[in-house]
């Protein structure tokens, strides 16, 4: 029939168009808006410990003619970034407290990776490596995650005494910092079951429940129960603190000591009375197991159990047991000391 295209003619017109669409669907570089200089990281989460030296990888696939690399830390819960370091490939300049411990790795000419020495608790979080070339800026984001342990904390006065800022200070005084939600969630998966709500770094108030029960929010499903965002100045709860590996060691001094005698006993050994975070870190990372209550710096008496047994706290799971806050003049306990 005249006016209709036969099959060979139709294929002649349609095949080039179909090939173009197929080629673009597969990722033809020419179909993108411009070059992409930064390679996607192989691992987006980098694990480390306090005191270690860690590297956050950032690699260029090819260098632009002129560029700078800007490293920054994305602050949790805040719409801002803290500048760490800027380099042009030849020279680098650090900024702020973290910039003094950071340097470029420079393993090769395409290496823009950041090296952080003496990792601290506050270094955990999200980092951005941004390439600035004046035409099309690019960035990759990585997360630095510290291995550590979360512990609930309340003062001698009892439960629900801290506003957000007091909770933050209390954790720092016990060799820790306020835990993040991700840290609390991981602790819950590892067995943390706690019925008192506590502040987290993001400003929310939550508590982890493994065994649902009436006094702990009812008989619903296990999980992280949430009070949601609260007033940081007015509302009062406990704190969930996070700490990581120690540079020093914790050891037990037996005896029947008062709190002041405990301080003296540790000083004679060139040490200090351990903080709560010290004891948790020694239990977590060094396997400290001691079936004896001992004074800690905040006036509490606790002991770490790695291998549960009937006469060591009576609980079936490992953990740090607590006798609360006895009177400082009570001479019934030894002490846990910390030395670096």
Give the pLDDT confidence of 266-299 residue by residue, as tens digits: 999 999 999 999 999 999 999 999 999 999 999 9
Residue 171: CATH number of its domain: 3.10.100.10
Among 336, 324, 319, 168, CA closest to 265: 336
User: What pLDDT is attached to residue 6?
Assistant: 54
Same domain, 234 and 253: no
Among 292, 293, 297, CA closest to 337: 297
The tens digit of pLDDT for each residue in 116-127 reads 999 999 999 999
Are residues 208 and 247 in contact, defined by beta-carbon separation less than 8 angstroms?
no
Overall average pLDDT of the 30-50 stretch: 79
In a domain, 45, yes or no: yes
Same domain, 181 and 227: yes
- What backbone phi and psi angles, to 5 degrees, belong to 14? -85, -30
Between the CA of residue 127 and those of 47, 93, 120, 185, what are the distances in Å?
A: 13, 17, 15, 21
Overall average pLDDT of the 304-330 stretch: 93
Same domain, 190 and 238: yes
The tens digit of pLDDT for each residue in 215-266 reads 887 778 899 999 978 999 999 999 999 999 999 999 999 999 999 999 999 9
Same domain, 74 and 42: yes
In a domain, 11, yes or no: no
Same domain, 42 and 137: yes
In a domain, 260, yes or no: yes
- In this structure, is the dihedral angle defined by the CA atoms of residues 10, 11, 16 and 19, taken in order, positive or negative? positive
Same domain, 188 and 230: yes
In a domain, 120, yes or no: yes
In a domain, 319, yes or no: yes
Domain that includes residue 118, residue range: 38-146
- Across the chain, mean pLDDT equals 88
Say which residue, 216 or 45, is predicted with more confidence: 45
**244, 277, 301: which is the final residue of a domain?**
244
Same domain, 225 and 302: no
**146, 178, 197: which is the final residue of a domain?**
146
Same domain, 218 and 313: no
**223, 244, 265: which is the final residue of a domain?**
244
In a domain, 254, yes or no: yes
Overall average pLDDT of the 84-98 stretch: 90
Are residues 198 and 239 in contact, defined by beta-carbon separation less than 8 angstroms?
yes
Instruction: Name the token pair of 229.
Output: 């965002």
Same domain, 98 and 182: no
Same domain, 72 and 154: no
Q: How many domains does the chain have?
A: 3
Same domain, 262 and 297: yes
Instruction: Give the lowest-confidence range in 14-18, 43-47, 195-199.
Output: 14-18
Give percent of the chain with pLDDT exceeding 90. Answer: 74
In a domain, 113, yes or no: yes
In a domain, 195, yes or no: yes
Same domain, 282 and 233: no
């Amino acid at each position: 029939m005249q006016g209709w295209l036969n099959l060979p003619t139709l294929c002649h017109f349609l095949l080039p168009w179909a090939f173009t669409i197929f080629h673009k669907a597969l990722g033809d570089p020419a179909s993108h808006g411009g070059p992409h200089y930064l390679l996607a990281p192989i691992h987006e989460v980098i694990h480390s410990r306090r005191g270690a030296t860690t590297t956050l990888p950032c690699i260029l696939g090819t260098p632009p003619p002129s560029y700078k690399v800007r490293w920054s830390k994305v602050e949790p819960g805040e719409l801002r970034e803290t500048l760490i370091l800027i380099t042009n490939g030849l020279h680098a300049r650090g900024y702020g407290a973290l910039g003094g411990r950071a340097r470029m790795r420079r393993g090769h000419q395409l290496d823009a990776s950041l090296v952080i020495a003496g990792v601290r608790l506050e270094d955990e979080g999200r980092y951005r490596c941004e390439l600035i070339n004046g035409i099309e800026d690019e960035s990759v984001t990585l997360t630095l995650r510290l291995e550590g342990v979360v512990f609930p904390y309340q003062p001698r006065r009892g439960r629900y005494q801290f506003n957000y800022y007091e909770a933050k200070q209390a954790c720092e005084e016990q060799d820790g910092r306020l835990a993040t939600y991700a840290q609390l969630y991981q602790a819950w998966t590892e067995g943390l079951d706690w019925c008192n709500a506590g502040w987290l770094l993001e400003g929310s108030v939550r508590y982890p429940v493994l065994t649902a029960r009436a006094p702990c929010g009812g008989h619903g499903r296990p999980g992280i129960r949430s009070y949601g965002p609260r007033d940081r100045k007015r509302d009062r709860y406990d704190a969930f603190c996070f700490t990581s590996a120690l540079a020093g060691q914790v050891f037990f001094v037996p005896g029947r000591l008062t709190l002041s005698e405990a301080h003296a006993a540790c000083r004679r050994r060139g040490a200090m009375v351990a903080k709560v975070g010290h004891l948790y870190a020694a239990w977590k990372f060094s396997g400290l197991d001691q079936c004896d209550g001992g004074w800690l710096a905040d006036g509490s008496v606790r002991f770490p159990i790695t291998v549960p047994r009937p006469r060591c706290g009576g609980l079936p799971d490992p953990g740090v047991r607590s006798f609360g806050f006895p009177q400082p003049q009570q001479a019934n306990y030894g002490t846990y000391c910390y030395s670096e």
